[in-house]
Amino acid sequence: MKNFNIRIILLILLFILSLTLALNHGSVKLNFLELFLKENRPILYLRILRILLGIIAGAGLTVSGVVMQAILKNPLAEPYLLGTSSGAGLGAVLAIVLGFSGLFLPLSAFIGAISTTILVYQIAREDNRLPIQSLILAGVIVSLVLSGIIILLIYTSPKQVMHGIFWWLWGSLSNYDLKPLILVTVIVVSAISLIFLFWKDLNAISIGEEEAIHLGIDVEKVKKILFILVSLITSSIVCVSGIIGFVGLIIPHIIRFAFGSNHKRLIPLSAILGAAFLVFSDMLARTLISPLEIPIGVITAFLGAPIFIFLLKGKQKIT
């Protein structure tokens, strides 16, 4: 219990540290106190918006990864497995190619993500059941087809739209429109809260569906509800930040390694670490080659891949 409490304290301190670093570092070099001067308040405001989006996106993607890995019983499952990233990417690329901007761009991405999720669900469904293997295969196949269409659109697009497409496909927290941020925050926080209510069901399902059924859990109903919630979370996040990989794959493994697999702890602690990870990644994206900004998906890939290899090797040694 003492070691557990120490790890909790360290996690909270890590979260606070990431927020502090993100607030204090950017393309404009200012010390912490200078941020609060009247002439620098616009910079402070923009950094706070990026931090808030990082918290929401990091927490949402990580909790979605926790759910997908538990239901699919697959350690490589991640939030975009249902095709949401490819659907959102296609919607966004179409909007950029057609010259749409403003609210039309995130709206197109959201519609693409939701439509793709519905398509994957319809392909995988067998009567009233949702077989796991069929769901995974349907998600992979649909994602590959949509990715092919995206590549075709990129190849045939004018050079002036290439930067916007590339930026969208690799993610960014540079969305400074407060209204969509508030809407996405409400959706993600509500969905995570509802997911947490199913922590006992996730514990049982992650062990095995037969065991869960013997405990009186309506597994098919629970899976459908959770898939809907995950789809809402990922679609909402992607429509304001683009496609950010590795967060929902890596962070759940770190929390399981440090705190165990009980979803009563796993869900909230993963949300905290996921938020800290993405906020820190965004700080690096803004400062590594300042004044240029690196797409945040590049940073999460560079940070996430070595962490995943380390965790994989550590697990192999234990087993």
pLDDT in tens, 212-268: 888 888 888 898 899 889 988 988 898 888 889 889 999 999 999 889 889 999 999
Q: Please name the residue that has the structure tokens 């969208």.
A: 168
pLDDT (mean) for 164-170: 78
Band of the pLDDT at 290, cuts 50, 70, 90? confident
Distance between CA atoms of residues 183 and 314, nearest Å: 40
Q: Which residue has the higher pLDDT, 319 or 287?
A: 287
52, pLDDT greater than 90: yes
pLDDT (mean) for 132-150: 88
Strand partners, 126: 129
| Contact between residue 211 and residue 136 where contact means Cβ atoms under 8 Å apart | no
The total number of residues shown for the chain amounts to 319
Taking only the tens place, the pLDDT of each residue in 181-227 is: 998 999 999 999 999 999 999 999 888 888 888 888 888 889 889 98
User: Taking the alpha carbons of 26, 29, 30, 32 in that order, is the dihedral positive or negative?
Assistant: positive
CA 161 vs. chain centroid, Å, equals 25
pLDDT (mean) for 147-163: 81
Q: Which of 45-59, 113-127, 193-207, 254-268 has the lowest mean pLDDT?
A: 113-127
Following DSSP, what letter does each residue of 57-79 receive, concatenated?
A: HHHHHHHHHHHHHHHHT-TT--G
Query: What's the maximum distance between 2 C-alpha atoms anywhere in the chain?
Result: 64
The closest alpha carbon to 271, from 34, 56, 18, belongs to 56
In the chain, the N- to C-terminal Cα span, in Å, equals 24
So what CATH class is 15-318? mainly alpha
Annotated domain spans of the chain: 15-318
Q: Which amino acid is at 44?
A: L
